[in-house]
Amino acid sequence: MTTTRSILRYVIILTGLCLSALGTNFALLAGLGTDPWTVFHAGLANYLPLTIGQISQLVGIVIILFSYPLGIRAQIGTFLNMYFFGFFYDMWNRLGLFPAPTSLFIQCLYLVVGVIVLGAGLGLYISAGLGAGPRDGLTLGLHRRLGLSIRFVRSAMELAVLLVGYLIGGPVGIGTLFYALTIGPAMQCSLQLCNHYISPFLAAETEKLAPSSDRV
């Protein structure tokens, strides 16, 4: 892999994680409920002297360790996801650039913006091709070990996390259902755009930097 392409991939994955954290921040700020993992992290924040970003990092470490005996080896993208998503989430939270919504309309707007931005971030993160996130790796490991479908494993994991998060005071609401119904299409749209514009650009960059076969 060329140095230039490597740098581009790191820029893309960090941009994706930054946008994903911003989208999650918007959705949580909306106060209508959010995705299962954020529900879980926010619930834990009620009991631990840690920020949601720090809890996300801690949970990521635990998942990486749990995935190891399942035959899943963390890649560079796994560690970047584990650390920088939490870092960027806390960064956006500290900056406080977006005021708390004062009406139901603004709450709904924040939620919609959150899902769109999160979907864009996930598309960028995946298109960088630097490895799966901790939760994706755990899904694959359980799929291989238990012989169950990836869809079933991921759905069961999300439901379990959501239930635990709800029981410990995480923000579950209509936004949680909205997320479940819309994050897939938002992510698919983002991936299609990334595959159309970013992947060919990375490939072209590689071809441009690669030595010609007729050079000595």
Interacting residues of 144 by C-beta distance below 8 A, sequence separation 6+: 70, 71
96 Cβ contact list (under 8 Å, min separation 6): none
In this prediction, residue 207 carries a pLDDT of 42
Phi/psi-derived region of residue 71, left when phi > 0, alpha when psi is between -120 and 50, beta in every other case: left
Contact 99, 18 (CB under 8 A): no
214 found inside a domain? no
134 occurs within a structural domain: yes
Q: Evaluate whether residue 208 is within a structural domain.
A: no
Domain annotation covers residue 46: yes
Q: How many residues does the chain have?
A: 216
Tell me the C-alpha distance between 121 and 145, whole Å: 30
Alpha-carbon Rg for the chain in angstroms: 18
What pLDDT shows up at residue 7?
Answer: 85
In a domain, 210, yes or no: no
Q: What is the pLDDT, as a whole number, of residue 202?
A: 66
Residue 89 belongs to a domain? yes
Q: Minimal CA–CA distance to 65: which of 137, 154, 125?
A: 137
Residue 82, CA atoms < 13 Å, CB-side half-sphere = 22
30 phi and psi angles, rounded to 5 deg: -60, -30
DSSP letter (8 states) at residue 88: H
Cα angle 208, 213, 216 (rounded to 5 degrees) comes to 110
Tell me, what's the pLDDT at 212? 35
pLDDT of residue 181: 86
Q: What pLDDT, in 10s, does the model give residues 101-146? A: 999 999 999 999 999 999 899 888 888 878 878 888 888 888 888 8
Position 212 in a domain: no
pTM of the predicted model, to two decimals? 0.84
Rounded distance, CA 65 to CA 138, Å?
A: 10
Total domains present in the chain = 1
Model pLDDT, residue 82: 93
pLDDT of residue 204: 55
Residues in the chain predicted with pLDDT less than 70, given as ranges, are: 1-2, 201-216
Residue 55 domain-assigned (yes or no): yes
- pLDDT at residue 203, as a whole number: 65
**Residue span of the structural domain in which 150 resides:** 3-95+104-203
Q: How far is CA 51 from the centre of its chain?
A: 17
